[in-house]
Structure 1
Amino acid sequence: MIKRITLISASIALGCLATIGPVLTSLYVADKDVENRDREELREFANKAVMRTDFVTYQAFAALSDLDRVPGPVCSTAKLEQAARIVYNYRYVQDAGSYGDGHYLCSPLLGDVRTKNFALPPPDFRSNDGYLVWLQQKSPLSDVRKDIQIGRSGNYVAVDSGSYVDLIDPAQRPIAAILTTTGTLMAISPGADPDEMLNAWKHDGNVKSDQWYYAVAHSSTRPVGVVVRSPHGHIAGDWPKVLIAWLSIGVIVGAALGWLAYRRVTRQLSFPATLEWAIARRMIDVVYQPIVNLTDGKCIGVEALVRWTLNGRSISPEVFVRVAEDNQLIQPLTDLVLEKTLAQLGALLVASPSFYVSINVSGEDLATFRFLNLLNASLNGTGIAPKQIRIEATERSFMNAETTRGVIAAFRAAGHPVYIDDFGTGYSSLSYLQTFEIDVLKIDRSFVETIAQDTASSVVAPHIIAMAHELNVEIIAEGVESAAQAAWLRDKGVQYAQGWHYAKAMATNELTRWLGQNRASHGENRFPENSQETT
């Protein structure tokens, strides 16, 4: 009898084990899955956080470079005016000015304080290329706020340290920004423990804790990094919710649909951050489409165009350029295009003074002289003539006429011809154009496609051509894809064209070969073969 009871008990125990075992196993696996997901999400959050530190540091360095470009004595009116523009133009820059002999000299906020003996302590860090960094530096204007100051050659900019950790995060996970060269804390989220975050940084996030996960990320371009923290999540602690989910198929379907919607929204919201990351790491490519003389087919220049490949998939420029415009990334994108263009085509432009490249700029770059100053500084000492770098802007960039007119005039005065791109798709009219001095109109491809056809838009191209002749400006037709279109345009007095009938947009090596063939067909010497990127 005892043996029977024992056998029955053992059977019941085995049955329970067989029933409960898979459940417990699945709960364990699910718990580990939650842990892995939490850690992966935290690593992604750390990568986003380090992109923020990259962007804030980029603005500080760019602002300091703008301040260095102004000649003249320290604390002159011109220098203070430039410093004020920098504070206004750069979101994260709180102040900009000059220092010397361990003292503040002047800034738009301080004024001229050379006689007030405002001491500036020794920097916390000196880089090999001459940059000085002060961490948690109190401004003479405040006994409360502490800024990060970056200086070089007697000029400095101040950045609110909170900018480095001010990341939108519904979970409010703590962030600490670290100066990697010294392992020093630069900034930390309110309420976080500095010693705890520094300890996690020193151990690369591998800290044993029953409460917290840690993750670190390093910038690939600057000596900064971040450490972030989030609480543990355990599915086993929420087992009643799991049982309810299994018993209610409707909840499962609703949760699945909600999860899919959440994932889709998350991807959309993270796209600007991904673009910011790609720009900061120079992962945007530049290609060049030839512009030819319609009379003889000779290539006279090229247009620089941006391309972006993300995870093996090509992203349309119409998509990511608009995202850049909407998220204050268009100026860094334009700066990158200029940098790569000069590096890739510099030798070619120097060897052929009549050849040019046109660069697209945004409305933001026509609102201030920032890009013009950068362009002039970039060309200095290269041997490239200003007329070889031409400026293209769409019609919507001309909407703020009062501001834009002066900047366009400054580009032209500096020797850079100005083009209106995609003409006919925006806000154009003869009276509107008469208020600007420009050099070239570019007819949008949508109107070129319909020339000599019986469509409603086929009459637009002749009107644009007549308008350009009335204004005495030259014309480039975009999207020319057939000999018939080229012949029609040539008969109407259009001087230049670009499109697949002549050549597609090409990378530097392919462009060099194509230009050599084009010049050879006209009995001219080949372009130099060493026009490779040097940076």
Structure 2
Amino acid sequence: MTNASIRPRANRRRRIAIVSSIAAALGLIFPIATSSYYAWRSAREAQELRLELVASKVAERARIALVQANAALEGLAASDDTPCSAEHIALMRRFTLNTLSVEEIGYMDGSQVRCTTWADSYFDEPARGADFVLNGDVQAFVGMHSHIPGSAPMLGLRKNHYLVLVNAERFTDITVPAGVQLAFLRSGSPVLSHTRDMPEDMLTQVAGGKTPIDEDGHLLRKVDFDGWSAVAIGPSESRSEIGLQLELLLPVGLLSAAIALVLVVKLSRRRLSPLAELRLALRRKEFLMHYQPIVNLTNGRLHGVEALIRWQRPDGDTVRPDLFIPLAEEHGVISDITAVVFKMVAADLRDVLRAHPQLHVSINLSAQDITDPNALKTLRAQLEAAGIKPAQVWLEVTERGCVAVGVAADSTLAQARAAGYQVAIDDFGTGYCGLQYLQKLPLDTIKIDRSFVQTVATDSVTSVVLPHIIQMSHSLQLSIVAEGVETQAQADYLQQSGVQYAQGWLFSKALPLHELKQYVERDAAMK
């Protein structure tokens, strides 16, 4: 064999060796790089989902509060009482107490405040121009203060002679994931409300319309409505979450490029919008039920339970209903979730309710459920199959839901009561329906929102609202359930005030089914 024939073979082997080395390197590097990238991307999109849902909740709270404030202005404008007379001040107080978002109402003559909800003396308000105008004729003033000493800066809304003060801090006073900051503002105006520990530089960026994304390691999600903006800012991604993703992907990626490609496909499926994730969770049946006991305040015995849905994601994280329910309502998926709740409640509680006919289960209905003619039919079919009596089921609807659907609420709730269900209005006091509207609804029970229960034995201005709600419920001959009871002092006050039932951590947290059955057995043994 000549040197000429050996040289091409050597070159060919060299080329094969080089190509093989490159292919081997790519086969090793590509799965690792791909796995690392998708781990980062998945963690980032999970954070984007959390921020978008939190910002949506702030926007919804603010929208409702502004609607309430505008309704108060319209209602006061229709009054023919003599300004600042005893009857006039009493009217302003009623609007203040019946409207959760309003802290104080004042009657003004030019720049002079003639009287307010809490004061009947004359004093001058420093002259200033409106920061912006809403609805064409409502002047808005940022940074105003109530005439109650120590009050926080508020948003003032003035129309003609009336000025209402709205506590904007409530817009961002919600539970958020660690490291997440919230802000609420009007375009071109100062920030109205923000979380207390929000850094000054971040606050300045948001007020200036900047978006602190990536450059300082943060993500921003903003929800706009009618010129307002709700902003949620958080770390762009969690290192611990990225590490968890890498622990799952990296070992598999090292095996071969083919396996890595399969994993990429699976990870791509996880790159979904929040709505797509929710719909996928419905198909995968990722939901489960917890049940919070409702007790009789007179004897401490179990009276019933409230069914609460939970979203248990495959990675073990639990998504709270106050985050995914608004998303489901916005995109018309709520009826599918309600059907899941009906089915799971009937399957879970059939033995418990049949063995203890004195107990009931409360099920929450959304505004869309109230207008859905199939909702009651679906519920009836599930209950009949499980042998559960309609009298053992309470249907809970919110004030906001009833007002949103109007006449449909009256009709559906009347049908529900005719079928034997009890009807309760949930989170009472947080919406904007007054006594006159409440009298029209076919109700059996009022559930007082936990925010009012928390004011028991405090100096909070809103602590005067709770007795008013209880008195109103008694006048309508409705039973009362107090939510969020956490101390014995709260329970004692509620019982002495004539509240029959309560739920909250003082008695029990929301329980999974097996723990609920143990609770029921312990309660039954008390006979």
What TM-score, normalized to structure 1?
Answer: 0.49
Residue number in structure 1 paired with 2:65: 56
Give the counterpart of 1:29 among 38, 49, 56. 38
SS of aligned partner of 2:442? strand
Query: For 2:425 and 2:49, how far apart are their aligned partners in 1?
Result: 39
State the AA in 2 paired with 1:123.
Answer: A
- The verdict on how the C-alpha distance between 1:157 and 1:309 changes in structure 2, with shifts beyond 3 A counting, is same
Provide the residue aligned with 1:308 in structure 2.
Answer: 368
CA 1:324–1:184 in structure 2 vs 1: closer, same or farther (change >3 Å)? farther
1:309 to partner: Cα distance: 6.3
Q: 1:53, CA displacement in angstroms?
A: 1.3
Aligned-partner residue type, residue 116 of structure 2? S
CA distance in 2, matches of 1:148, 1:157: 8
Q: Residues 11-32 of structure 1: CA distance to partner in whole angstroms, max 9, x if unpaired?
A: 5565344223212212112322
Q: Return the offset for 1:197.
A: 4.8
Do residues 135 (structure 1) and 142 (structure 2) align?
yes
The structure 2 residue matched to 1:190, chosen from 172, 191, 196, is 196
Q: Which amino acid aligns with 2:130?
A: P
1:226 and 2:234 correspond: no
- After superposition, what is the alpha-carbon deviation per residue over 1:411-453, rounded to whole angstroms, capped at 9, x for unaligned? xxxxxxxxxxxxxxxxxxxxxxxxxxxxxxxxxxxxxxxxxxx
- TM-score, normalising length: structure 2: 0.50
User: 1:200, 1:207 within 8 Å by CA — same for their partners in 2?
Assistant: no
Which of 206, 213, 218 matches 1:212?
Answer: 218
Shift of 1:317: 10
Aligned counterparts, 1:239-258, within 5 A: 239=243, 242-243=246-247
Report the alpha carbon displacement of residue 164 of structure 1 after superposing the two structures with TM. 1.9
2:117 to 103, 108, 114: 108
3-state SS, counterpart of residue 180 of structure 2: coil
Q: How much has 1:134 moved relative to structure 2?
A: 0.9
Rounded Cα–Cα distance in structure 2 between residues aligned with 1:272 and 1:212:
26
Q: Flag the 1:242–1:402 CA change in 2: closer, same or farther, 3 A.
A: closer
Task: Tell me if structure 2 keeps the 8 A contact 1:307–1:315.
Answer: no
| Alignment of 1:179 onto 2:186 | yes
Q: Who is 2:82 aligned against?
A: 73
- Per the alignment, residue 266 of structure 1 pairs with 319
Corresponding residue to 1:123 among 112, 125, 130? 130
Matched with 1:157 is 164
Equivalent residue runs for 1:341-490 within 5 Å: 371=434, 391=440, 393-396=442-445, 403=472
Q: Does 1:147 align with 2:162?
A: no
CA contact (8 A) 1:103 1:117 kept: yes
Distance 1:278 1:9 in 2: 55
Whether the aligned pair in 2 keeps the contact of 1:56 and 1:163 (CA below 8 Å) is no
Contact 1:275 1:324 in 2 (8 A): no
- The alpha-carbon deviation at position 205 of structure 1 amounts to 4.5
| Letter in structure 1 aligned against 2:247 | L
Task: Tell me the secondary structure at the aligned position of residue 126 of structure 1.
Answer: strand
Q: Distance in 1 between matches of 2:153 and 2:69?
A: 16
- The answer on whether the counterparts of 2:144 and 2:155 sit within 8 Å (CA) in structure 1 is yes
What is the rounded CA distance, in whole Å, between the counterparts of 1:178 and 1:274 in structure 2? 22
Give the letter for the 1:174 counterpart: Q
Separation (CA, whole Å) in 1 of partners of 2:143 and 2:99: 20
| Structure 2: distance between partners of 1:157 and 1:104 | 12
Indicate how the Cα distance of structure 1 residues 145 and 341 shifts in structure 2: closer, same or farther if over 3 A, else same. Answer: closer
Q: For residue 126 of structure 2, give the secondary structure of its aligned residue in structure 1.
A: coil
Q: CA deviation at 1:73?
A: 1.6
Shift of residue 207 of structure 1? Answer: 4.4
Task: Report how far residue 131 of structure 1 moved.
Answer: 0.7
The alpha-carbon deviation at position 162 of structure 1 amounts to 0.6
Change (3 A) 1:203 1:117: closer
Alpha carbons of structure 1 residues 324 and 262: separation in structure 2 relative to 1, 3 Å = farther
- Partners in 1 of 2:474 and 2:146 — Cα distance? 39
Higher relative contact order (Cα pairs below 8 Å, separated by 6+ residues): 2
Deviation, 1:89, is: 2.2
The number of equivalent residue pairs is: 331
Aligned partner of residue 393 in structure 1, secondary structure: coil
Deviations 1:220-255 (A, max 9, x none): xx432212211111669954773378779xxxxxxx
Q: C-alpha distance in 2, partners of 1:58/1:241?
A: 44
Structure 2 unaligned spans of 5+:
1-9, 253-283, 287-311, 333-364, 380-392, 411-421, 447-468, 478-527
| Structure 1 unaligned residues grouped into runs of 5+ | 249-255, 280-304, 343-359, 376-389, 409-535
CA change 1:30–1:245 in 2 (3 A) is: closer
**Retained in 2: the 8 A contact 1:205–1:215?**
no
Q: Report whether the alignment pairs 1:20 with 2:29.
A: yes
Match of 1:291 in 2: none
**Any conservation in 2 of the 1:94–1:160 contact (CA below 8 Å)?**
yes
Amino acid at match of 1:113: S
Structure whose alpha-carbon radius of gyration is higher = 1
Identify if the C-alpha distance between structure 1 residues 315 and 208 changes in structure 2 by more than 3 Å, giving closer, same or farther: farther
Change in CA separation of 1:242 and 1:142 when aligned onto 2, cut-off 3 Å: same
Measure, in 1, the Cα distance between the counterparts of 2:126 and 2:50: 45
What is the CA–CA distance in structure 2 between the aligned matches of 1:392 and 1:128, rounded to whole Å?
30
Q: Using the alignment, how far apart are the partners of 1:238 and 1:316 within structure 2?
A: 44
Three-state SS of the structure 2 residue aligned to 1:112 is coil
Compared with structure 1, are the counterparts of its residues 158 and 335 closer, same or farther at alpha carbon in structure 2 (3 Å cutoff)? Answer: same
- Shift of the alpha carbon at 1:44? 2.7
Instruction: Give the C-alpha shift of residue 335 in structure 1.
Output: 3.5
Distance 1:87 1:322, change over 3 A: farther
8 Å CA contact retained: 2:53, 2:324: no
Once residues 66 and 235 of structure 1 are traced to their aligned partners in structure 2, the CA distance between those partners, rounded to angstroms, is 53
Aligned 8 A contact 2:47 2:237 in 1: yes
Q: Please tell me whether the aligned partners of residues 201 and 216 of structure 1 are also in contact (alpha carbons under 8 angstroms).
A: no
Retained in 1: the 8 A contact 2:367–2:405?
no
Cα distance, 1:247–1:224 mapped onto 2, change above 3 Å: same
| Superposed displacement of residue 34, structure 1 | 2.5
Partners of 2:197 and 2:470 lie apart in 1 by 48
The residue identity in structure 1 corresponding to 2:230 is V
Decide whether aligned partners of structure 1 residues 21 and 334 sit closer, same or farther in structure 2, where only a CA change above 3 A counts. closer
Q: Kindly state the Cα deviation for residue 126 of structure 1 after the two structures are TM-superposed.
A: 2.6
Partner of 1:421: none
Cα 1:57–1:24 change in 2 (3 A) is same
Per-residue CA deviation, residues 484-520 of structure 1 (Å, 9 max, x unaligned), is xxxxxxxxxxxxxxxxxxxxxxxxxxxxxxxxxxxxx
**What residue identity is the alignment partner of 1:169?**
V
Is the alpha carbon distance of 1:308 and 1:28 closer, same or farther for their aligned partners in structure 2, counting shifts above 3 Å? same
Report the Cα distance in structure 2 between the residues aligned to 1:127 and 1:112, rounded to whole angstroms: 28
Letter in 1 for 2:403: D
Other structure's SS at 2:215 match: coil
Q: Percent identity?
A: 16
C-alpha change, 1:44 and 1:313, in structure 2 (3 Å) is farther
Equivalent residue of 1:158, what SS? strand
Question: CA offset at residue 45 of structure 1?
Answer: 2.4
